[in-house]
C-alpha cells in the first residue's frame, strides 16, 4: 500500500511503476547482500541531469516524471533511464562515492536490474520477487 508520501510527490499513473521498482530494488539488494532499500518518488530535479538520490538509510528517491506549473507532464522518463538510475542508486548502498570501484559495481548492478525488469512476471510467479519495503 502506498502512503501519503506518494500522493504528494508522485503522479497517480506512476504508483504501479514505483511498486514494481521497489520490488526490483529489494530483489537486487538481496542478491547482492545489501540492506533492503525503500524506493519512493522524488519531487523535483535540482539540475537537469539529476534523476535520483540514495541516502544513508537506504531510501532511494527517483524522478520518473516532471511537474510543470502544478501539472504532471504526460510523458514520463524512458524506462531505460529510470532503470539506469535505479541501478546507480542501489550501488550507493555499498559505495557512497563515485570511485572506480563504484562504477564497476554499478555496471554489474545495471545488468541485474535490467534482467529483473525483463523477467519480472516469471520471478513473481516463482515467488522469487520479494515485496517492496
**Domain-embedded: residue 91:** yes
**Domain-embedded: residue 101:** yes
Q: What is the CATH number for 73?
A: 3.30.2010.10
**Domain-embedded: residue 9:** no
Average pLDDT over residues 116-132: 89
Model confidence at 2: pLDDT above 90: no
How far, in Å, are 18, 96, 112 from residue 75 at the CA level? 16, 31, 26
Model confidence at 1: pLDDT above 50: no
Average pLDDT over residues 4-15: 75
Instruction: Write down the pLDDT at residue 42.
Output: 80
**Domain-embedded: residue 38:** yes
**Domain-embedded: residue 55:** yes
Q: How many domains does the chain have?
A: 1
pLDDT, one tens digit per residue, over 52-85 is 889 888 999 998 887 777 777 788 889 999 999 9
**Domain-embedded: residue 47:** yes
Average pLDDT over residues 119-123: 92
Nearest 10 degrees: Cα torsion 40, 113, 96, 56: 30
Helix (H) or strand (E) segment spanning residue 127:
none
- Please tell me what DSSP assigns to residue 56: T
**Domain-embedded: residue 111:** yes
Model confidence at 127: pLDDT above 60: yes
pLDDT, one tens digit per residue, over 15-61 is 889 999 999 999 999 999 999 999 988 866 555 667 888 988 899 99
Instruction: Write down the pLDDT at residue 82.
Output: 94
Higher pLDDT, 2 or 111: 111
Domain that holds residue 114: 20-125
pTM for this predicted structure: 0.88
**Domain-embedded: residue 77:** yes
Amino acid at each position: 500500500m502506498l502512503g501519503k508520501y506518494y500522493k504528494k510527490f508522485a503522479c497517480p499513473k506512476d504508483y504501479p511503476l514505483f511498486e514494481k521498482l521497489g520490488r526490483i530494488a529489494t530483489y537486487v539488494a538481496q542478491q547482492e547482500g545489501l540492506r533492503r532499500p525503500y524506493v519512493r518518488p522524488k519531487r523535483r530535479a535540482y539540475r537537469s541531469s539529476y534523476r535520483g538520490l540514495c541516502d544513508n538509510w537506504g531510501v532511494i528517491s527517483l524522478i520518473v516524471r516532471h511537474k510543470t506549473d502544478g501539472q504532471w507532464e504526460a510523458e514520463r522518463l524512458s524506462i531505460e533511464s529510470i532503470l539506469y538510475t535505479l541501478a546507480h542508486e542501489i550501488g550507493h548502498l555499498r559505495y557512497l562515492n563515485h570511485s572506480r570501484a563504484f562504477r564497476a559495481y554499478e555496471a554489474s548492478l545495471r545488468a541485474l536490474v535490467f534482467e529483473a525488469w525483463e523477467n519480472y512476471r516469471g520471478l513473481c510467479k516463482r515467488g522469487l520477487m520479494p515485496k517492496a519495503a
